[in-house]
Amino acid sequence: MENRFAPVLWLQEAGFKAYLVGNQSRNAVLGQSFENQDIDIATSALPKEIERVLLEHDLVPIRVDNKFGVVGFVWQGIDYEITTFRQDIYDPQFNHIRRTPIDIIFHKDPTKDALRRDFTINAIYWNPKTNHFTDPLSGKKDLEEKVLKFIGDPDIRIKEDPIRALRAVRFKYSLGLKYHPSVWKALIKYGRLVHKLQPSSLKKEFTKIQNLSLKDYQSAKEDMRKMGVVWRV
């Protein structure tokens, strides 16, 4: 196991479930390099328990969000974010764009945590010690078949947080995927909701899209044009 993944082992040795998610788990599926990436860990440990484990290894968090169950720290020059398994509850009326849940429920296993995530390819939980994947929503299969799918109803996922529309475009081109038909239908229908967000919220995603290869960047801009999204950085 690579040394950079040691914090996963620390949590496991302390009696908690812990997995790599996001870039790291996707790269493990695809057999790609792990270099130059931030590391996201999902765990059954609560923030105070995560802090205790880190302190045992002489690490002090730079960010602790007890409400959302997020602990951030830097180790060996790498940015880490550890998040407690949780269920996000959104306002079902969607009377206004919140981007954040109205309630949080912490859980002890990744199943509920998987359901809160945006795409199936982001709900793959990898144990680097055993090389085992916990994949409750078949995200590994979708990634291998190069298909981008929302988790649950695509319309609802975009209305919960419109930034997901831009993330869909970025993932399509950065990972060489194709949209599932339901994804593209939802993007056309609700993609323009991104304009209800603050420009500062959009800048990060727009910049990541701008950093794609020239060909993919132009294709991504065309997708956004069809979605009714005005390009800006």
pLDDT single digits (tens) 118-144: 999 999 999 999 999 999 999 999 999
78 with 117, same domain: the answer is yes
pTM of the model: 0.92
Q: Is residue 86 part of a domain?
A: yes
Q: Which residue has the higher pLDDT, 35 or 204?
A: 204
Q: Is residue 232 part of a domain?
A: no
Q: Is residue 233 part of a domain?
A: no
106 with 57, same domain: the answer is yes
The pLDDT value given to residue 158: 94
113 with 161, same domain: the answer is no
8 with 115, same domain: the answer is yes
Does the pLDDT of residue 48 top 70, yes or no?
yes
Percent of the chain with pLDDT over 90: 83
pLDDT in tens, 98-117: 667 888 999 999 999 999 99
The CA-based diameter of the chain, rounded to the nearest angstrom, is 52
161 with 117, same domain: the answer is no
Among 140, 170, 190, the domain-final residue is 140
For residues 171-180, average pLDDT = 98
Domain CATH number, residue 186: 1.10.110.30
- Residues with Cβ < 8 Å from 187, sequence gap 6 or more? 158, 165, 168, 169, 179, 223, 227
The band of 32, judged by pLDDT with boundaries at 50, 70 and 90, is: confident
The pLDDT value given to residue 95: 56
Q: What are phi and psi of 74, to 5 degrees?
A: -120, 130
Q: 8-27 burial by CB neighbour count: b if 16+ within 10 A, else e?
A: bebbbeeebbbbbbbbbbbb
For residues 65-83, average pLDDT = 96
pLDDT in tens, 176-220: 999 999 999 999 999 999 998 888 889 989 999 999 999 999 999
Q: How many structural domains are present in the chain?
A: 2
Among 109, 124, 140, the domain-final residue is 140
Q: Are 199 and 232 in contact (CB under 8 A)?
A: yes
Range of the domain at 46: 3-140
Domain CATH number, residue 93: 3.30.460.10
Amino acid 146 reads: K
179 with 108, same domain: the answer is no
217 with 108, same domain: the answer is no
pLDDT in tens, 76-97: 999 999 999 999 988 776 655 6
133 with 56, same domain: the answer is yes
Which residue has 């812990």 as its token pair? 18
116 with 157, same domain: the answer is no
Among 111, 140, 169, the domain-final residue is 140
The pLDDT value given to residue 94: 60
The pLDDT value given to residue 129: 96
Q: Is residue 181 part of a domain?
A: yes
